[in-house]
Amino acid sequence: MAKKQLFSLSVNGEEVDVASPSDATLLETLREDLRVLSPKRGCNQGVCGACTVLVDGVPVRSCLTLTALCEGHDIGTVDGMGEDPILATLQKHMVEKGGVQCGFCTGGMLMSARNLLAETPRPSRDTVKSALSGNICRCTGYRTIVDAVCGAAEELAQ
C-alpha cells in the first residue's frame, strides 16, 4: 500500500485536507480520495482529454499533474461550476444538440470549450474544432459537440 501524505487543496472553492499517495496524480486524488468524479480516467497518458480540469483557471490534464504541485492553487471541475454562465450555456447546448452520448468525454470537453469561449467570444467553427482537438470522443459524436459549442458561443455573444 502506497504511503499517504496529507495535502491541503482548494477544490471547487472549498479548502480540503486529503490523504493521498505522496506521488499521486491530481486525477487519482480527485477521484479516489475526494470522490470528485467528473474528471474521467481514460488513457492516463494525457492523450484523451477526459481528465481535463482547471488549475487557477487554466485547463490542464489532471492525469499528468502531480497532487503535490497543486497545493496553493485553485482546482476547478465541472462539479463545482454550476454558477458559471459560460459553462451553463455550454451544458444547455450540449443537451439540446445531442452533444452527449455515453458522456465519458463530456466533462473534459466542457473544460476545453469553456476555456475557448472565455478567451475567444466568437470563434469560427474551425477554431472550435482546433480547441477541442485534444479531447477524444470514442462515440465519435464530434459534429454535435462542435454544434453545441458554436451554438453556445452565438448565444453568449448576444
Q: Which residues bind another protein (CB under 8 A)?
A: 2-3, 21-23, 25, 44-46, 49, 52, 58-61, 63-66, 68-69, 111-112, 115-116, 129-131, 133-135
Q: Which residue lies nearer to another protein by CB, 14 or 56?
A: 56
The continuous run of DSSP H or E covering 75 comes out as: strand 74-76
Q: Which residue lies nearer to another protein by CB, 64 or 92?
A: 64
Cβ at position 96, least distance to another protein in Å? 25
The DSSP output letter for 39 is S
CA nearest neighbour of 108 among 75, 135, 137: 135
Q: Which residue lies nearer to another protein by CB, 80 or 134?
A: 134
Cell 490542464 found at:
60
Cβ at position 143, least distance to another protein in Å? 16
Helices (H), the chain: 26-28, 85-97, 106-119, 125-131, 142-157
